[in-house]
Amino acid sequence: MSDQGRRYLRFGAVISVIVIALGYLAYTGVQDSKSYYVTIKELGGMGDGAYSKRLRVAGNVAPGSIKRQGTHLEFLLVEQDRTLPVVYSGTEAPPDTFKDNAQALAEGKYGRDGIFHATNLQAKCASKYAPKPGATPPAEPNAQKAALTAAPATQGQ
């Protein structure tokens, strides 16, 4: 084989190794970032599959269950009649809306110890978005749109 043929062969081998390495990195990156949304009930029925997957679990924070130590947090998620102990050890402090009875979404892994080990938390305070007691509910969107279209146009006056 000539020198030029050997150079092409080496160049092809190097390019092949680079393409395979990039493909592997892309595949493992997608696998690591993928997470499955499950309910607490579904989590209990997953068996051994629950321990190997990255999961998202939602529920309400049980009143009086929050124990804080800096960014480390322990609490219980409740969904209907089921509870799930959660330990959060993230790098960021929990959101301000994370309180008793708040809706929360924990992302992480379920441990064989029966505790959900969260690395990310999201919380929504349901009372913040509820209407005030005695307040009249907003008009229907279609009624508002009809009122706007029925108003006379004042352009050019």
Strands 82-89 and 67-69: unpaired
Instruction: Inform me whether the pLDDT recorded for 80 exceeds 70.
Output: yes
Q: What is the pLDDT of residues 11-57, one digit of tens each?
A: 999 999 999 999 988 887 776 666 677 888 888 788 887 888 888 89
* Cβ atoms 77, 106 nearer than 8 A: yes
Q: What is the pLDDT confidence band of residue 125, given thresholds at 50, 70 and 90? A: low
State yes or no: pLDDT of 135 exceeds 50.
yes
Q: Which residue has the higher pLDDT, 71 or 131?
A: 71
What does pTM read for this prediction?
0.59
Q: Which residues contact 131 (CB under 8 A, 6 or more apart)?
A: 137
| Distance of alpha carbon 57 from alpha carbon 61, whole angstroms | 12
For residues 75-97, average pLDDT: 86
Q: pLDDT at position 133, please?
A: 60
Of 138 and 106, which is predicted with more confidence?
Answer: 106
Radius of gyration of the chain (CA): 27
List alpha helices for 45-153, DSSP H.
126-129, 141-150
The upper half-sphere exposure of residue 133, i.e. CA atoms within 13 Å in the direction of its Cβ, equals: 0
Which residue, chain included where needed, has tokens 């005030």? 132
